[in-house]
A and B are shown apart, each in its own frame.
Chain A
Amino acid sequence: MVTTVIRAERLTTKYEKFTVFSELSTSIKKGQITTIIGPNGCGKSTLLKTISRILKQQSGEVFLQEQDMKGISTKAIAKQLALLSQNPEAPLQLKVEELISYGRFPHRKNVGTLSSKDMEVIEWAMDITKTTAFRNREIAQLSGGQRQKVWLAMALAQETSILLLDEPTTYLDLAHQLEVLQIVERLNKEHHCTIVMVLHDINHAARFSDELIAMKNGEIITAGPPEKIIAKNVLKEVFNIDARIMVDPENGSPVCFGYDALPERE
């Protein structure tokens, strides 16, 4: 039986005076990879940030394991839920290992030294993300792909059962995009991590997700398994494209192999 880990009820979020979405409800199932797709400015990232308490909602509730998040301390939330934000920044002179150790913050009691448990988790995070090799380098010396893996490792060091990723593959080349997504997939399969992410590439979303949420103009158009969402009519409605879809004979996931922009509709 699949249970819900995050449930958003009638969320309204605003940037200054601009309402990104209002009265939005959705839920995230445990142990699955859920991907939010939609055109630029549709509110994907804002939704992700709201359910991870980075942005405060105007109204509505987010329930984490059926508990209202407003009632849980931010540190306690950080033990259950980690977020890799869209364009993370760190001082360039910081060493990789130190940055990853920042992920241990919610678990640390004293600020002085890392416990052996902390060290263990850091090693594990570096191992999974294959960043052990450059643990002693400074952030400045890393390529974009390496940096993204380091950031992922920092989120993993938080040791949470839920991982939120905001466009984890943007700015990466094809090989690194795939590498990051395969790490995510491995986390889900082997470590039973619940993953929620925002992706721009529909085919990546279809291939790696159990569940898709399609958004447009601050509303959830539809949600469901990739086979249902990657369909001509849905893509037409969400992205305003005329897509040709087939099934990848290798892994059975739907692939959109060509598309044309439809004329603007108002």
Chain B
Amino acid sequence: MHKQNRSRFFITMSALIGAILFAIYIHITNGTFDMSVKDIFTTLLRMNPTNDFDLVIFEFRLPRIVIAALVGLGLGIAGTVVQGITRNGLADPGILGINAGAGASIVIFMFFFQMELAVSGSSNWLSIIIMPIFGFLGGLIAAILIYIFSWTNGKLDTQRLILSGIAISTGFGALSLYISLKMRESDFEMATVWMSGSIYNANWIFILAMIPWLLILVPIIYRKAYLLDYFQLEESSIKSLGIQVEKEKAILLLSSIGVISACVSVSGSIGFIGLIAPHIAKQLVGIHHRYVLPASAAIGMFLVIFSDYLAKTIFAPAEIPVGIIVAILGVPYFLYLLMKTKA
């Protein structure tokens, strides 16, 4: 029985990795000017480097792909955890307002430190490194608010959870808009583009800012993933098994908020990935979270890379924020889920 699960998992993962490689391939070869695979390999392996190719690959396309991959991974993982903890298939960090909380806090940060820091790169790498910390604070505040408003009779009320999430994200959205209006014009434009979820101004410092968060938090989450299986039981049963429910949930939730903040601070708010990826993963590898978690991470990666490819090519040379592409792809799937799930 377990063996069967495991082989299904490995087959799925190989297929997903194939899909990711394919997405990377079309993303890296297409763009303002197309490149062949051979060009890319020769550039990557430093066989016949030319400045043009170096610039396009190392400064534009590669960082963008890496960020798309990391953001997808983070959101896929965080979505799985949030759905697992709340026992709610419709929960998603975006819908719950955690993204918006992190976003508002980062907009505040941008406002006080003037955007130039974040844009101009190397000389201000410090502020980019600090951004996720601010994001974390905002995400944390959102999560605390959600808990306060949906906590009744010693447990989280699922219906209230989503509603307060919607309310909180609207509130933080309004706050972000308000603050961004106080910014200088150029900053304002940056901020709006960033808020709707985009990664086309990617660079290596953003990646550097993200990596420590993922390196520390993802292993913690993965170690605790088996607990998510238990969390699918109802509260009394879990407690009666001797699981320190509140403590374990807090660790998992805080770690996810950290992951989300790291993602939001580089890409803005990209919704629906955290919702869709876990569902597809469960369809593919079953309900065990030790399998769901990596599968969901891989699906998230694929979705964001692929959506970003669409975002840059559909209306080229105009860029569409990737968050909007994801929303257009994600909403129909969300509605489909809503129709399928029982009340």
Contact = CB atoms under 8 A, between A and B. Distances in A.
Interface of A: 15-16, 49, 52-55, 73-79, 81-83, 85-91, 93-95, 97, 102-103, 105-106, 111, 136, 154-155, 158, 166
B1 A95 contact: yes
Interface string B224-245: 0010011011111101111110
A77 B236 contact: no
Given A88-B236, A105-B230, 10 more contacts: A49-B236, A75-B243, A85-B236, A88-B237, A89-B234, A89-B237, A93-B286, A105-B242, A106-B241, A166-B236
Central interface residue in B229, B236, B244, by most chain A CB within 10 Å: B236
Central interface residue in B153, B237, B286, by most chain A CB within 10 Å: B237
A85 B237 contact: yes
Contacts of B235: 54
Contacts of A93: 286-287
B240 A78 contact: yes
Given A89-B233, A136-B1, A102 B241 contact: yes
A105 B153 contact: no
Central interface residue in B153, B230, B239, B240, by most chain A CB within 10 Å: B240
A15 B237 CA distance: 19
A172 B230 CA distance: 25
A90 B232 contact: yes
Interface residues of B, number: 21
B241 A53 contact: no
B332 interface: no
Interface of B: 1, 152-154, 226, 229-230, 232-237, 239-244, 286-287
A55 B241 contact: no
Contacts of A136: 1
Contacts of B237: 83, 85, 88-89, 154
Nearest to A91: B232
B90 to A, nearest CB: 15
Contacts of B226: 111
27 contacts: A15-B153, A16-B153, A49-B236, A52-B240, A54-B239, A74-B242, A77-B242, A79-B242, A83-B236, A83-B237, A85-B234, A85-B236, A86-B236, A87-B234, A88-B236, A88-B237, A89-B232, A89-B233, A89-B234, A93-B286, A94-B287, A95-B1, A105-B242, A106-B242, A155-B240, A158-B241, A166-B236
A129 B53 CA distance: 69
A158 B235 CA distance: 17
Nearest to A90: B233
A95 B287 CA distance: 10
A105 B239 CA distance: 11
Contacts of A85: 234, 236-237, 240
Nearest to B154: A55
A73 B247 CA distance: 13
B84 to A, nearest CB: 11
B234 A88 contact: yes
A57 to B, nearest CB: 12
Central interface residue in B229, B230, B242, B286, by most chain A CB within 10 Å: B242
Across chains A and B, which 8 residue pairs bring their CB atoms closest together, nearest first?
Answer: A78-B242, A85-B236, A83-B240, A75-B242, A106-B242, A89-B234, A105-B241, A111-B226
B236 A103 contact: no
B240 A91 contact: no
A102 B287 CA distance: 14
A201 B223 CA distance: 45
A73 B233 CA distance: 21
A74 B236 contact: no
A158 B233 CA distance: 15
A6 to B, nearest CB: 14
Contacts of A102: 229-230, 233, 241
A154 B234 CA distance: 13
A83 B235 CA distance: 12
A95 B229 CA distance: 12
A95 B241 CA distance: 18
Nearest to A108: B226
B77 to A, nearest CB: 18
A52 B241 CA distance: 11
A45 to B, nearest CB: 10
A85 B1 CA distance: 28
B242 A54 contact: no
B122 to A, nearest CB: 44
Given A15-B153, A91-B287, A76 B233 contact: no
A223 B145 CA distance: 45
A85 B241 CA distance: 11
